[in-house]
Structure 1
Amino acid sequence: MSQCAIYRLRDGDELVCRVQADLGVETPYVLCAPVVLRTEWGALIPKLHLEVAVGDAACVILMSQLIALPRSELGPVVGNALDRRDDIIAAVDLIVSGF
């Protein structure tokens, strides 16, 4: 598993981006953020809603909706957001530390 990988959940079509870094040990839960189609989301919150392409689809990583998911719920990797890694980390910092 890799930080910034985008997974399809095993039970459905929902996508999530793995936010959690590789810690060198497997944890039962993994910190993730939902990924939705850009057309299915309204106004973006700067620094918390990050635009990313998954295949040919324009999507948004919803950093404001972080969730720890059981590792077993993650299905296949369908993309990555490595080019947004600094923005993902900055969003976590913003959520934890504030403005």
Structure 2
Amino acid sequence: MARFHVYRLKQSETLVIDLQAGLFDALKTRIVAPLIPAPDIDHVMAGLNPRVTINGEAYVVAIHLMAAISVSELGALIGDLSHQRDKIVAATDFAFQGF
């Protein structure tokens, strides 16, 4: 598991981004946020919901929907958003700190 990697959930077509620090890889859970296709979401808060591109498709990172899930729910590795690290970390900070 690697922070900022994107996975498809095994039981659905949902994509999620791993937000959890690698320091906690021994845990059997990961903190993730779903990626919602940009055309499917009407209202986003730019600071809370960064836009990203995976395989040429636009998505919104739904930080406000983050949750802990079992590692066993993660399916195929789809991509790596490490290059968007600053934007994603700023969004998680905004969710918890409000700034």
Q: Does 1:38 align with 2:35?
A: no
**Structure 2 match to 1:60:** 60
What is the aligned residue count?
99
Deviations 1:64-90 (A, max 9, x none): 111111110000111121121111111
Q: Alignment partner of 1:85: what SS? A: helix
Show the 5 A alignment for 1:10-89. 10-23=10-23, 25-89=25-89
Q: Structure 1: which 5+ runs fail to align? A: none
**What's the % identity of the aligned pairs?**
29
TM-score, with structure 1 as normaliser: 0.92
Unaligned runs of 5+ in 2: none
Give the aligned CA root-mean-square deviation in angstroms.
1.2
Aligned-pair CA distance for 1:25: 3.9
- 1:60: how far off? 1.0
The residue that corresponds to 2:93 in the other structure is 93
Moved over 2 A (4+): none
